Structure 1
Amino acid sequence: MKWIDSHIHLDQYKKEEQLQLIEDIQKTKEIAAIIAVSMNDHSCQQTLELAKNYPFIYPALGYHPEQEVDFIQCEKICELIEKEAHRIAAIGEVGLPYYLRQENPKLLLEPYIEMLERFVYMAQKYNLPIILHAVYDDAEVVCDLLESYRIRRAHFHWFKGSQRTMERMIENEYYISVTPDIVYKEKIKDIVAFYPLSRLMVETDGPWKFNDEMTHPHMILQVLKSVSEVKGLVLEDTAETIYKNTVQFYNL
């Protein structure tokens, strides 16, 4: 049995944690690959450098939306995507600032949509998957944008949203991924119960903490167990399907 961590911020770990994680992955047969997403221009450079040295790291370049809009960085990252399109796995993490707007309701959404549209255009231009931070009502806005550019390979990481939104996403054949919080959050179990297994992936979103431990791709085994329990399936069959989903989505 093997799996892929479809969303991890490898460059955001402390250096010693990063080295330990890489060493652990090299030693195990279960963790086949990781999709390393980026936060900003500097993060993109670090992610690319890590991917050069370790073939199991597949880089994604983007600008995380839960921070101040920066069109200068956005353009730098788009230039980097143009340069590295042949060797990156995806564009991401990109999306809309749901949690930032909870803290600051007066925050304007339009500039974030404008920045996201730039990345959606790049995904269309280079036929790359796009990894999205878009939850609750923001997911509907993002679906509008994806549909306008006829994007099919969309991965909504750590998704949370309504059944109506999920029905729309399923119709568009978008994928979602699940973190270790499925172990203790009923609303995530409900999402997994509703969403087709054929459109599911698994992730850690490390270095996000799980039970105050350093988040590690080996934790995905527990995620897979929870998904299989929710779906009423054998663990090995669940793991194999999700592994194939990820390989197919990212053309690994």
Structure 2
Amino acid sequence: MLIDAHIHLEQYNDEEIPLLLEEVDAVIAVSMQLSSCERTLRLSNSYQQVKAAFGFHPEQPLLSPSDEAALFDWIRTYQDEMVAIGEVGLPYYLRQEQAMDDRPYVALLERFVVLAKELDKPIVLHAVYEDASVVCDLLEKHQMSQAHFHWFKGDEAVVKRMIERGYFISITPDCLYEEEIQQLIHAYPIERMMVETDGPWTFEGPFTNKRTSPWMMHSTLEVIASIKGLSIQEAAKIITQNTKAFYRL
């Protein structure tokens, strides 16, 4: 039984959730904004397998100052109910769609890094390609080492930097058909690796037209084991131990 290191569980229907949880030991359920945090909290109170992370997804318009203050106050109030700050990061895909000044997003992310440091919680990051270097700068500035880059993509230089700093990544089911992700698996130490679905985000290849569900991680694990020259059981043990240790489960 694996741990899904990154899933938007609150975006599934109530009747789907018990079935999804039958497939895993635990899930790290990330949040999008305050209402999402609230539902994630309710789910974590209802299901022992659900480990909550609270944050603000960057691929959306910024909060007003009052709404941001309300979110940060809420997170501090419920800090003992969460295992991490997340999902937070920078708006890479939004920036491809429209001209924008991302400096306010960088400033917001820095406030989340400071909050994670203050609360002694790991941070779950949405940061790909050139954004990853900016995020590494912030993490180093605040001496924040407990960082998990979910569904990471980036160049060789930033991958090397992340490995040196001991940051974690998580691998998605697209490793079955994306050479870029397969190359990342080759390069990154399995001791700093987790698996995730990012559900309900959908995938292609053998997963076309299938509801994203934790069972897909078994296929991900097969790819990782093959690339790393390990048995599936060995890879599963290492990755599960990584996830438990990182999130203090």
Band of TM-score, shorter chain: over 0.9
Q: CA deviation at 1:209?
A: 1.0
C-alpha contact (below 8 Å) 1:38/1:61 kept by paired residues? yes
SS class of match (2:121): coil
Instruction: State the match for 1:172 in structure 2.
Output: 165
1:249 alignment partner, one of 233, 243, 246: 246
| Deviations 1:168-190, CA, capped at 9 Å, x for gaps | 11111100001100010000000
What is the aligned length? 244
Q: Does residue 1:47 correspond to 2:43, yes or no?
A: no
Instruction: State the match for 1:212 in structure 2.
Output: 209
C-alpha contact (below 8 Å) 1:61/1:77 kept by paired residues? no
CA separation in 2, counterparts of 1:72 and 1:44?
17
Q: CA deviation at 1:74?
A: 2.6
| Deviations 1:207-235, CA, capped at 9 Å, x for gaps | 00122211001111011011111112111
Q: CA deviation at 1:24?
A: 4.4
Identity %: 46
| Deviations 1:18-68, CA, capped at 9 Å, x for gaps | 422323424x5xx10000000011100010011011010000000000011
CA separation in 1, counterparts of 2:154 and 2:230?
24
CA separation in 1, counterparts of 2:149 and 2:31?
15
SS class of match (1:19): coil
C-alpha contact (below 8 Å) 2:20/2:213 kept by paired residues? no
| Deviations 1:63-83, CA, capped at 9 Å, x for gaps | 000011114333222111211
Q: CA deviation at 1:159?
A: 0.1
Instruction: State the match for 2:174 in structure 1.
Output: 181
CA separation in 1, counterparts of 2:199 and 2:31?
12
Which amino acid in 2 is paired with 1:219? M
Q: Does residue 1:62 correspond to 2:55, yes or no?
A: yes
> Unaligned stretches of 5+ in structure 2?
none
CA separation in 2, counterparts of 1:126 and 1:38?
17
TM-score by length of 2: 0.95
Structure 1, 76-85 or 214-223: larger mean CA deviation: 76-85
Structure 1 residue runs of 4 or more that deviate by more than 6 Å after TM superposition: none
**TM alignment of 1:27-46, pairs within 5 A:** 28=23, 31-46=24-39
C-alpha RMSD over aligned residues:
1.0
| Deviations 1:80-102, CA, capped at 9 Å, x for gaps | 12111112010000000000001
Which amino acid in 2 is paired with 1:99? Y
Instruction: State the match for 1:12 in structure 2.
Output: 11
> Unaligned stretches of 5+ in structure 1?
none
CA separation in 1, counterparts of 2:92 and 2:178?
20
1:93 alignment partner, one of 72, 87, 105: 87
CA separation in 1, counterparts of 2:67 and 2:174?
32
SS class of match (1:205): coil
Which amino acid in 1 is paired with 2:2? W
Q: CA deviation at 1:118?
A: 1.1
SS class of match (1:34): strand
SS class of match (1:94): strand
Q: Does residue 1:145 correspond to 2:141, yes or no?
A: no
